[in-house]
Chains A and B, each alone.
Chain A
Amino acid sequence: MSGPQELGLRLQGITKVYPGVVALKDVSLNISAGEVVGLIGENGAGKSTMMKILGGVITPTDGSISIDGKLYRGLTVAESQAAGIAFVHQELNTLDNLDVAANVFLGREKTRGRWRLIDRKAMRDAVQPLLDRVGAQFGPDMPVAALSLAEQQLLEIAKALSMDARLVIMDEPTSSLTISETNNLLKVIADLKAQGIAVVFISHRLSEVEECVDRIVVLRDGRIAGRLARDEISNDAMIRLMIGRDLKSLYTPPQAPPGEALLSVRDVRTQAKPANAANFELRRGEILGVAGLIGAGRTELAEAIFGAGGKLSGEVRVNGAPLDAGSPADAISAGLYLVPEDRKRTGLILEFPICENVTMANLRSCLRNGRVSRSRQIEVSEEQRSRLSIKTPDVRNAAQAMSGGNQQKVVLAKWLSMDPKVIIFDEPTRGIDVGSKSEIYKLMRALADRGVGVVMISSDMEEVIGVSDRIVVMRDGGISGELKRSDFSEHNILTLAVGKALEEA
């Protein structure tokens, strides 16, 4: 029955049940060789769950998987790899005590001699071309601890490419990549396809999905909500199937013209990018977008301002008063918040209940008679849950039992339940679906209209252009340019990001 073009991979009637949640209900999917399947759906729709079943990370409650005619009730990771399935997980799984090459070959180390000693050189030589292919700027002997989130994402992709797979699953591989790495990846995907390798591509950035896939499968609430063939794919069609309604455009203009300077950053240098100093000002009531390529030093700058470390020199003023934040606690008491980019490391305590995470930065507001009141914590969390439409059966569940996008919403909820003067969002919508994205943009705009200064660091071109009132572009630790709304364009941002001057129009 399986012809030469058949990959012979099918998921049949897959159901996955977690306590309190049905993640997948009777889902079936076939994948053929050399096709690129886009898998889209809202946060918590079940995309990652389905792919984790294929990757052998979790076993389905019901249903079967057949590979080359062999039937499985559930795969192990080893079986999945042996069947030629490579997996780029949504959550990064790099070991930061090892270097890049060691991470790529983890568990498949190259050895030499009869004592089977680790062959570092062979591993490095094998990794370099893969890094070039994904457009990484770091070498194979770079310690992973020194890589940014986006760079680790490139490393994960390189690792998947090293596996000689028949099917590569990419679960939100681009969520922290900027446009140039993303374009690179789209090229890699086209290459894979040409070699007859199948790809499952999951992303919330619908434009890149549209660009690279052959067909689309849309999941909604654990079921298949629809399929789109190549010629049916359009942004509107995808959104309609995902959320069941249409979406309007992103930008809502501010209610009032920007006021006085709320945050001013003068000559701030970071340890990571000491070559240039950053200077910018944020005015009351505006949303300032911060764009740049990977390695531009945006996260480092934000963390330095926030007092999380890495600041070499320079001055930060909030509301005119100098802030020399020695720790995040200082910045927070000055009314400056940072919503960090890496939810697993700095944004959340995954093992803790959602309500603990939401109230963590502001526990004092949950005191009753000097005691932390669980019912108050739940109250606050429920408020945020409906505000951000966080999908979970119970806010007392652990944060790790949620889908990635919903975890991101919990990070946002933590800071939105407080009362900021200035708030810096570092990749606020990383992994968040289109419907919720527009909700979050509305929230940001509401904050700005209330007189809060909003800084938004984002690698998502559509987002920076669509949401900001003004954009500063960073390059190598410094600000390489500033754009007014009338000058917003992908081209202008990229020009500044690579350090060229804008031609006057």
Chain B
Amino acid sequence: MQKKDLGLAILIIVVGAVVYLRNPLFLSPINLGNTANLVGLFGIFAIGQGFVIMTGGIDLSVGSVIALLGVLFVEMVGGYAVPWPAAVAITIALGALIGLAHGILITRFKMQPFVVTLCGLLIYRGIARGYTAEATAGFPFGASYPQLEWLTIGRSYGIPHSFIAMIIIAVVMWFVLHQSVFGRHLYAVGKNDEAARFSGIRSGFVITSAYVICSVLAAVAAIYFAMFTKSVQPSSHGNFYELYAIAAAVLGGFSLRGGEGSIVGVVLGAVLLQELQNLVNLLGIPSSLNFAVMGTVILLGVLADQQLAAYRAKKRAAQAFERLQSERVES
């Protein structure tokens, strides 16, 4: 765990303690379970966003992908009676295709990530709304899919399975980002694309892979969200979710310039965001202020983090100088 992550964890605990003191319901099993479920849902695609931000890019289409793939998943399972494992596989494959398209447009055709994924945001949302003719997609009345439901919205020992899924994904992705050769290449490409290329790293492949990972995790999240909400309203489902993902990554120490960040960080970022939502509800703050609270905390968090880093560097230099002075006195 890095210093940054530790600071974030402490912040989460402090905020939690304050909320608990004001409203003990915060630590009630029901509230914890619900919050964990939301952390799981948002955490899954925030991790994916982290990979893209690592390359110095951004994926604005995540919310729309969640809406479009959510609609398609519900239609396949509920409308066309596709067996759910097949529907899951198709949804994830579609996610991979979307990511591949983003990656190719960005690396081969040298388009900017912001532009490509902004257009994605508009296109996927538009298709979702057009396909359903603005109608809400839902499962037929009384239909039930016990295994699928157990996997997505079930709980073990009170822990929501969405949360467990997020943890499993986080562990796998931790290995990918922090332990594998591919992960190192991601860091390198994110920091200095050219130097990475001259070292024989296939930077186009690395960047495209990041977009594929991001969209695949968005597809997984789409399935979890569809099962959680049971119906998908194509014009509002998943709205602004990309911003939650970006916020979680930035809070977790990712740099939008690329080449910096950690999986632990982005997961903690997702936790903090949900904790703040929870805070707004539990402390009776008007929910209209929700975004304002979130924005303020992110701003202060990132500011404090940078100030602390600068302070630490200064202190280290001062200590080194003092050592030199005392050596001088001795000699």
Chain A interface residues (CB < 8 Å from chain B): 15, 17-22, 25, 61-62, 306, 308, 327-329, 331-333, 338, 340, 345-352, 356, 360-361, 363-364, 367, 370-372, 414
Q: What is the CB-to-nearest-CB distance from B199 to chain A, in angstroms, rounded to a whole number?
A: 4
Given B179, B198, B320, which contacts A346 in the complex, CB threshold below 8 Å?
B198
Decide if B26 is an interface residue (CB 8 Å cutoff): no
Q: What is the CB-to-nearest-CB distance from A215 to chain B, in angstroms, rounded to a whole number?
A: 28
Decide if B112 is an interface residue (CB 8 Å cutoff): no
Contacts between chains A and B (CB distance < 8 A), count: 88
Bound form: Cα–Cα A333–B192 in Å = 21
Bound form: Cα–Cα A61–B319 in Å = 11
Residue-wise interface mask of B (172-188) relative to A, using a CB-CB cutoff of 8 A (1 in contact, 0 not): 00010001110111011
A residues within 8 A CB of B317? 17-19, 61
B residues within 8 A CB of A370? 179-180
Decide if B150 is an interface residue (CB 8 Å cutoff): no
CB nearest neighbor in B for A21: B320
With A21-B320, A328-B200, A352-B187 given, can you name 17 additional A-B contacts, CB distance below 8 Å? A17-B320, A20-B320, A61-B321, A329-B200, A329-B201, A331-B200, A345-B194, A345-B195, A346-B194, A346-B195, A346-B197, A348-B192, A351-B191, A360-B201, A367-B181, A371-B179, A372-B184
Given A62, A331, A332, which contacts B321 in the complex, CB threshold below 8 Å?
A62
B residues within 8 A CB of A327? 197, 202
Q: Is B202's CB under 8 angstroms from A363's CB?
A: no
Bound form: Cα–Cα A105–B259 in Å = 32
Bound form: Cα–Cα A48–B310 in Å = 23
Bound form: Cα–Cα A99–B321 in Å = 42
Q: Which interface residue of A306, A338, A347 has the most chain B CB atoms within 10 A?
A: A347
Decide if B87 is an interface residue (CB 8 Å cutoff): no
Q: Is A18's CB under 8 angstroms from B198's CB?
A: no
Q: Chain A binding site: helix, strand, loop or mixed by DSSP? A: mixed
Q: What is the CB-to-nearest-CB distance from B189 to chain A, in angstroms, rounded to a whole number?
A: 10
B residues within 8 A CB of A61? 317, 321
Q: Is B188's CB under 8 angstroms from A349's CB?
A: yes
Decide if B153 is an interface residue (CB 8 Å cutoff): no
Q: Is B195's CB under 8 angstroms from A361's CB?
A: no
Decide if B196 is an interface residue (CB 8 Å cutoff): yes
Given A15, A17, A308, A352, which contacts B188 in the complex, CB threshold below 8 Å?
A352
22 A-B residue pairs with CB within 8 Å: A15-B321, A17-B321, A19-B317, A61-B321, A306-B198, A327-B202, A329-B201, A340-B198, A345-B192, A345-B195, A346-B197, A349-B188, A349-B259, A351-B259, A356-B184, A356-B187, A360-B196, A360-B199, A361-B199, A361-B200, A363-B184, A370-B180
Bound form: Cα–Cα A352–B199 in Å = 14
Q: What is the CB-to-nearest-CB distance from B203 to chain A, in angstroms, rounded to a whole number?
A: 9
B residues within 8 A CB of A22? 320, 324
Decide if B3 is an interface residue (CB 8 Å cutoff): no
Bound form: Cα–Cα A345–B192 in Å = 8
A residues within 8 A CB of B313? 19
Q: Is B199's CB under 8 angstroms from A414's CB?
A: yes
Q: Is B196's CB under 8 angstroms from A349's CB?
A: yes
B residues within 8 A CB of A414? 199
CB nearest neighbor in A for B313: A19
Q: A327-B202, A370-B180, A371-B179 are in contact. Are A352 and B191 (CB under 8 A)?
A: yes
